């Protein structure tokens, strides 16, 4: 997916910031499909334009960015939400991720970091400002310690498990291919096979599954 084929909606209640981010993205080749000043408008417009990525602020008035994120990701599974917030508070990060956000950047990020984050989010990669990924990993490890109900997970092949471990560590498909000395296409095939077995929809959900099952911290055999 190239930047020119990635559609983005920018949601922020500050017009100058919102327009500036939209301009930066457009200048870097993204299609800015829409902007929105609040959570209610974000949900309504997202339904109409179905962007690939929503850049979501959290403090939006009556309908928070977290609530808007939950509605958008619930109704539009192909649309990914990347939070762009002034807050780096742990509670804000975790609430956003639990609501379905694919990643979280603080507004101190550079324009280059933002462009890269939008591109990676559109590709299905979890993206976090440095230091926040560890927080999310820790939260899912704590969740994994709770007793689990239901049937045991489907059996994965050894190579599928190897790839899943790397997904949990935040590596891209190309990085996984280099690390495991296999082709990029082979990595993608393993990812797709694992998604089908686990009945998941994208690499963000796959990473969450791997983290919940402690695969990000296991030694590779």
- Pairs from 203-206 (Cβ < 8 Å, separation ≥ 24): 203/124, 203/125, 203/126, 203/167, 204/80, 204/102, 204/124, 204/125, 204/126, 206/164, 206/167
Q: Say if 125 falls within a structural domain.
A: yes
CATH of the domain at 170: 1.10.10.10
Q: Rounded to two decimals, what is the model's pTM?
A: 0.65
Q: 110 and 19, same structural domain?
A: yes
User: How many structural domains are present in the chain?
Assistant: 2
Can you tell me the distance from the alpha carbon of 182 to that of 73, in angstroms, rounded to the nearest whole number? 33
Q: Please say which residue of 138, 171, 197 terminates a domain.
A: 138
One digit per residue, the tens of pLDDT, for the chain of length 221 reads 555 589 999 999 999 999 999 999 999 999 999 999 999 999 999 999 999 999 999 988 777 899 999 999 888 988 999 999 888 777 888 888 888 888 889 888 898 999 999 999 998 888 888 766 666 656 655 554 554 555 556 788 888 888 888 887 778 888 899 999 998 888 888 888 888 888 777 777 788 788 777 776 655 44
**CA 217, CA 210: separation in Å to the nearest integer?**
10
Decide: 100 and 56 in contact? Cβ < 8 Å.
no
Distances (CA, A) of 1 to 8, 49, 53, 150, 163: 13, 18, 13, 37, 22
Q: Which two tokens stand for residue 102?
A: 């694919």
Domain with 166, as residue range(s), is 158-212
Query: Based on the domain organization, do 105 and 65 belong to the same domain?
Result: yes
């Amino acid at each position: 997916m190239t930047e020119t084929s990635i559609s983005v909606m920018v949601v922020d209640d500050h017009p100058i910031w919102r327009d500036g981010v939209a301009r930066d993205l457009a200048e870097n080749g993204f299609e800015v499909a829409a902007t929105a000043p609040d959570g209610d408008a974000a949900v309504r417009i997202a339904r109409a334009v179905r962007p690939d990525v929503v850049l979501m602020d959290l403090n939006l008035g009556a309908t928070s960015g977290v609530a808007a994120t939950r509605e958008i990701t619930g109704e539009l599974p192909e649309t990914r939400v990347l939070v762009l917030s002034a807050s780096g508070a742990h509670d804000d990060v975790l609430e956003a991720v639990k609501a379905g956000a694919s990643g979280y950047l603080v507004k101190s990020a550079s324009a280059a970091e933002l462009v890269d984050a939008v591109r990676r989010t559109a590709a299905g990669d979890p993206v976090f400002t440095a230091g926040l990924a560890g927080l999310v990993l820790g939260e899912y490890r704590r969740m994994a310690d709770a007793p689990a109900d239901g049937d045991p997970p489907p059996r994965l092949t050894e190579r599928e498990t190897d790839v899943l471990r790397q997904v949990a560590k935040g590596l891209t498909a190309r990085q996984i291919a280099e690390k495991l000395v296999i082709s990029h296409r082979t990595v993608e095939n393993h990812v797709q096979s694992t998604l089908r077995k686990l009945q998941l929809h994208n690499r963000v959900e796959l990473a969450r599954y791997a983290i919940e099952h402690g695969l990000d911290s296991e030694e590779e055999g």
